[in-house]
């Protein structure tokens, strides 16, 4: 379990920060009429925020394997 958390720490951090930001957006901005698709429901807003946080923080991860980097340095 610990190795899973270490391996995917950016993705997990993005999920947590995004979920907090999504709920905060619902709570502070929200939608008074209830017709807004994302911000009228706290669950949808939280999941949407978590997804956006996940996408944002996983976009910084390098896809180049370490083995290729080590071969290029020689």
Tens digits of residue pLDDT in 20-74: 999 999 999 888 787 888 888 899 999 999 999 999 998 876 666 666 555 556 5
CA distance 24 to 5: 25
pLDDT of residue 69: 56
Instruction: Supply the pLDDT for residue 19.
Output: 96
Residue-by-residue DSSP string for the chain: -HHHHHHTHHHHHHHHHHHHHHHHHHHHT--SSS--TTTTSHHHHHHHHHHHHHHHHHTTS--S-HHHHHHHH-
- Spans of all domains in the chain: 7-38
Taking the C-alpha atoms of residue 69 and residue 31, their distance in angstroms, rounded to an integer, is 49
């Amino acid at each position: 379990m610990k190795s899973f958390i270490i391996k995917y720490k950016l993705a997990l951090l993005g999920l947590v920060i995004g979920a907090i930001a999504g709920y905060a957006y619902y709570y502070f901005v929200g939608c008074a009429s209830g017709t807004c698709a994302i911000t009228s429901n706290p669950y949808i807003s939280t999941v949407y925020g978590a997804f956006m946080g996940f996408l944002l923080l996983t976009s910084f991860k390098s896809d180049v394997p370490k083995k290729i980097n080590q071969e290029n340095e020689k």
